[in-house]
Amino acid sequence: LRVEPEKGLVSKYTELAPSQTPDAGESKVFYRLPVTVNITLAYELKAIATARTIMSQFGQIAPIPEELLTGEYAIEFHPETGAVKSIRKK
């Protein structure tokens, strides 16, 4: 089984992840940006099946914007991946 992040997307997300806000990450609450990956199942060096899917495990780590952590919003995370599942105003 081979899992490879899609070329170009990881570097694109890496550029988007850093925050211009000086206090970003001050709360120490982070999440992973999901990226598209190509999955290949191989047997004896021959590809049997391929698929594309979204995986957070290969994504860039980014701080949750501090303005979402004031208590006015509820943020739900995917426990297995660390990705943001939902953000809603309370």
User: What are the structural domain ranges in the chain?
Assistant: 2-65
Measured at the alpha carbon of residue 8, what is the angle toward residues 39 and 50, in degrees to the nearest 5?
Answer: 15
- Please name the residue ranges forming H helices in 1-90: 9-16
Where does residue 33 rank: exposed (0-12), middle (13-18), buried (19+ CB within 10 A)? buried
Q: What is the pTM of this model?
A: 0.58
- Residues 39 and 49: their CA atoms lie apart, in Å, by 8
User: For position 24, what pLDDT does the model report?
Assistant: 59
How confident is residue 16, by pLDDT bands cut at 50, 70 and 90?
A: low
Q: Are 49 and 41 within 8 A, CB to CB?
A: yes
